[in-house]
Each structure stands twice: as C-alpha cells, then as structure tokens.
Amino acid sequence: MIRTPSELVIDEHGRVALPLGLLAEAGLNPGDRVLAFSNGDGRLELRRFSDAVRDLLEQGTL
C-alpha cells in the first residue's frame, strides 16, 4: 500500500528524525533497534533488527 510520503532532512551529522506516524505505520517504536541497508540507488531500507538477523540466519549469511 502506498502511503503519503514524509519529506525529511538529513542534518549536518547525517541524522534523520522519523515522524512517529511513520514509525507507527511500520510497527516500530522509539527505542526499537533497526538495521539500515543501502540499495545503492538512492534508497535506504530499515529493518527491525530481530527480523533482519533472523532472515540473515535463515539465509546462512551469519
């Protein structure tokens, strides 16, 4: 499902603040651990840490 995008600004330290509504839609909460991946084409993907580790273990990557 396509949601309304949120325009974000990367600060001088490379940080981005994610709106609480966006986190809620993703099922994430402040303080949750996530892993960030670059798709190499201007896109970044955030994955819940536990989900990403589980997937990597299942693939035999870790």
What is the tens place of the pLDDT at every residue in 2-60?
577 889 999 999 999 999 989 988 999 999 999 998 988 999 989 999 998 898 889 88
Residue 17 pLDDT: 94
Interstrand relation of 34-38 and 44-48 (parallel, antiparallel or unpaired)? antiparallel
Q: Per the confidence metrics, is the pTM higher than 0.85?
A: no
E strand spans, the chain: 34-38, 44-48
- For tokens 């603040």, what's the residue? 17
Residue 2 pLDDT: 57
Residue 6 pLDDT: 87
CB count within 10 Å of CB 60 equals: 6
Residue 5 pLDDT: 85
